[in-house]
Structure 1
Amino acid sequence: MRVLLIEDDEMLGDAVKTHVHRQGHAVDWALSRDEAEASLGAAAYDLVLLDLRLPDGSGLDILKALRSRRDETPVIIMTAHDQVSDRIAGLNAGADDYLVKPVDLGELQARIHAVSRRYGTHKLPDLTIAGIAIYPSDRRIVDVDGKEISLSSREWAVLDRLIARKRAIVSKAQIEEALYAFGAEVESNTVEVYVSRLRRKLGRQAIETVRGVGYRISVDAT
């Protein structure tokens, strides 16, 4: 999944970015409100990690702006504001969770997993392809014999992006967005490699190639 980290503390930001990246996620890091708004305008994110106190404004205003335009991207607030009133304000503004600094990276990982599960249940429908049952919200795939199929975090990132637009064509660039942060070097055949791996595990019919346009989940998926 692609994560936007909004944090002006460079030491904390570097630690969080490194930790989240090691969990298999692409991470973009914005150190100010302006950078954050530019990133949100340029890419689609699966999760936002949001500091409230930024050098050029309030993170709460970023959250309010997201929700005002009906953007339901999950948001976890990470802040030194530890008053109950601050938590209430953050949650009422539309945050999905609230962590008080100093942030424990293990707890952050657990909160990300919990929010991602809720997001998956809301956004990604379960489906079946040629007898293979896919449960994105639970990160489970079961074949026709009842055996579980394991996917890497990046294979899930590609599959999630395709399932989220179940009947639509997803371009190569849109899939690359799910895999890479801004500025990361992208191999020309990366998407093809992951699509090929998914086809080996789920069957060639699982993902269709629309030549010159992109990919989509099989039209036979139910």
Structure 2
Amino acid sequence: MSRILIVEDEERIATFVGKGLRAAGHAVDITGSGEDALAALQASDFDLVILDVGLPGMNGFEVLEVLRGTGDGVAVIMLTAQGSLEDTVRGLDGGADDYLVKPFRFEELLARVRARLRDSARPQETATPSFGGVSLDVRTRRARVDGREVDLSAREYALAEEFLRHPDQVLSREQLLNSVWGYGFDPGSNIVDVYVRYLRGKLGEERIETVRGVGYRLAG
């Protein structure tokens, strides 16, 4: 049984989601503020956090920043009424594992919960993937480019790792979206292109080639 923390100040939504998750076989705790959420996470172990952005006082982005700053890698799905790409990027860049915009269907949330719990249960790779002067240390989650250390956000790192696990292969936008952001993420989003642009700026423009009409390839 997985233990899930819901951080949501709208009682109606928190009750609805909690009831559905319990019916699906999960243990659920509910809190309505960021401060209480951090206290709960410090006191107990959770498998996943469903985190609302629009919390009173400390908002969801700030909770996530504190959480990741302490090295806590618990899976986080963010909920928000704000559907802009900038907010999505901010949440994912801050270390969120998934992002869902209100209003949402419970079936979609449940599918994302299952996907994130599967990801958490998957054994971590211990190898250090490298190709064409780029290498990643999976243990410390640091990147090196031509011998120099480069800072990558959590999502940039995940995208770089996907390329390095498939060097010189053409990866479609759909493949990258599913592997880095998870099944169920909006297929019409251009977030893959946005993050490829970010990654090119850090790894080198020439390293990630665009294969027109297909996707992208990490070139040596």
Q: Give the TM-score normalised by the residue count of structure 2.
A: 0.55
Alpha-carbon distance in 2 for matches of 1:109, 1:33: 22
Higher relative contact order, structure no. (Cα contacts within 8 Å, ≥ 6 residues apart) = 1
Alpha-carbon distance in 1 for matches of 2:37, 2:72: 15
Alpha-carbon distance in 2 for matches of 1:28, 1:122: 26
CA contact (8 A) 1:50 1:75 kept: yes
Alpha-carbon distance in 1 for matches of 2:60, 2:42: 16
Q: CA deviation at 1:90?
A: 0.1
1:111 matched residue in structure 2: 112
CA contact (8 A) 1:75 1:95 kept: yes
Q: CA deviation at 1:122?
A: 3.7
Q: Does 1:31 align with 2:32?
A: yes
Q: Does 1:98 align with 2:105?
A: no
Q: Does 1:45 align with 2:33?
A: no
2:10 matched residue in structure 1: 9
CA contact (8 A) 2:77 2:100 kept: yes
- The residue identity in structure 1 corresponding to 2:43 is A
For structure 1, the 5+ residue unaligned runs are 124-222
CA contact (8 A) 2:38 2:67 kept: no
Alpha-carbon distance in 2 for matches of 1:95, 1:77: 7
1:74 matched residue in structure 2: 75
Alpha-carbon distance in 2 for matches of 1:70, 1:57: 19
Residues 115-165 of structure 1: CA deviation (Å, up to 9, x unaligned):
111111046xxxxxxxxxxxxxxxxxxxxxxxxxxxxxxxxxxxxxxxxxx
For structure 2, the 5+ residue unaligned runs are 125-220
CA contact (8 A) 1:5 1:27 kept: yes
1:205 matched residue in structure 2: none
Alpha-carbon distance in 1 for matches of 2:110, 2:41: 22
Alpha-carbon distance in 2 for matches of 1:57, 1:17: 22
- The residue identity in structure 2 corresponding to 1:83 is S
Alignment of 1:190-201 (within 5 A): none
Alpha-carbon distance in 2 for matches of 1:83, 1:10: 25
- The residue identity in structure 2 corresponding to 1:9 is E
2:88 matched residue in structure 1: 87
Alpha-carbon distance in 1 for matches of 2:56, 2:113: 25
Q: CA RMSD in A?
A: 1.4
CA contact (8 A) 1:5 1:13 kept: yes
Q: CA deviation at 1:10?
A: 0.7
Q: Give the TM-score normalised by the residue count of structure 1.
A: 0.54
Runs of 4+ residues over 4 Å off in structure 1: none
- The residue identity in structure 1 corresponding to 2:81 is A
Residues 13-72 of structure 1: CA deviation (Å, up to 9, x unaligned):
100000011111111101111211121111010000000111112111111111111111
Alpha-carbon distance in 2 for matches of 1:103, 1:18: 15
Report the secondary structure of 1:62's partner residue.
Answer: helix
